Amino acid sequence: MTGVDSAAAIAFDHCSKWYGQVLGLSDVSWSTGAGVVGLLGPNGAGKSTFIKLVAGLMRPSRGRCTVFGQPPAASRDARARIGYAPEHDRAWDELTALEFVAALAELAGVPRRAARRRAEDALASVGMADAMHRRIAGFSKGMRQRTKLAQALVHDPDLLLLDEPLTGVDPLARRDLISRIRDLGAAGKTVVVSSHVLPEVQAITDTVLVLHRGRVLAEGNVMRIRELIDRHPHRIRVACDRPRELAAAVVRADHVVRLSLEDGAVVVETRAPDACYDLLADAICELDIAVTALSSPDNNLAAVFAYLTDDRGATA
């Protein structure tokens, strides 16, 4: 949510960070509690700066960033509650995955006698049970990603920062990791997933924070964000056996802005999506039209981000 909540897992209060003349983050006020949030933006949007401030790897130039009420760069207690899986890894390749994760568990405060067991459990939870005794040097990109996630989980943190966690992961492992991340959010953890791959974030969560040029461009539920962009008509695509008849049945509605015909489909642009869905349903039933697919090209993160950045560019 926009604004500051002292009880939030993460809270930014008019927080800015700059590097000389380069602005990384500008006057951000935002907070969140338990659940999964997708951190979105193109390269240079401020995602890395955002993550590093939350992780306590740097301090704000102005304003405040707190984790569970404490500034993470100055609070060991706050940092102990954070699990971080960075985009780029610098693992000790000569170690096995088990040795690596157990070592980081100890660094995070897990007693030595418990660290190995906790490392085994963490690796098993991300599908690395059969490979935990192999050296990291021989791992694929996907295996390294899963090992990074295991080290972020091993000390059972309350807040997880996952920077591009699905990069290089094969489809089966991707499905498992997405399910694991969702489960963590449902269990009461706060999970921030940073990505520039919009469909990946959409597969994990429908709650997003969109950064653009260091500022918060939009935040909240994807559908609610889309509803705010009211000057852009909402598109509905209906694939059917008689698209021309369906188009003729709905073209006179006041809320229909434009119609276009494709091969075996009609695309309706409307400023009243709910009313348009009802209108289409009535026409389809009345005309006994066979529908093979119905979709909205605008109900996805790629469309939302394109519209939002186009809007910002138009007003800049």
Quote the CA–CA distance of 22 and 89 in Å, as a whole number: 25
Residue 288 amino acid letter: D
The three-state secondary structure class of 297 is coil
pLDDT in 10s for each residue of the chain, 316 residues? 555 555 689 999 999 999 988 899 999 999 999 999 999 887 788 999 999 999 999 999 999 999 999 999 999 999 999 999 998 877 788 999 999 999 999 999 999 999 999 999 999 998 899 999 999 999 988 889 899 999 999 999 999 999 988 887 777 778 888 998 999 999 999 999 998 777 788 889 989 998 988 999 888 887 777 676 666 788 999 999 999 999 999 999 999 999 999 999 999 999 888 899 999 999 999 999 999 999 887 766 667 677 776 654 443 3
Range of the domain at 217: 10-222
Domain total in the chain: 2
H/E stretch holding 270 reads strand 265-270
User: Cα angle vertex 32, ends 27, 8, to 5°?
Assistant: 100
| Same-domain pairing of 292 and 217 | no
Last residue of a domain, one of 194, 222, 250: 222
Question: How many whole angstroms from its chain centre is CA 181?
Answer: 11
Identify the CATH number of the domain in which residue 265 sits. Answer: 3.30.70.100
Tell me how far apart the alpha carbons of residues 187 and 35 are, in angstroms, rounded to a whole number: 8
According to the model, what pLDDT value does residue 218 have?
A: 86
On whether residue 228 sits in a domain, the answer given is no
Largest CA distance in the chain: 73
Does 5 map to a domain? no
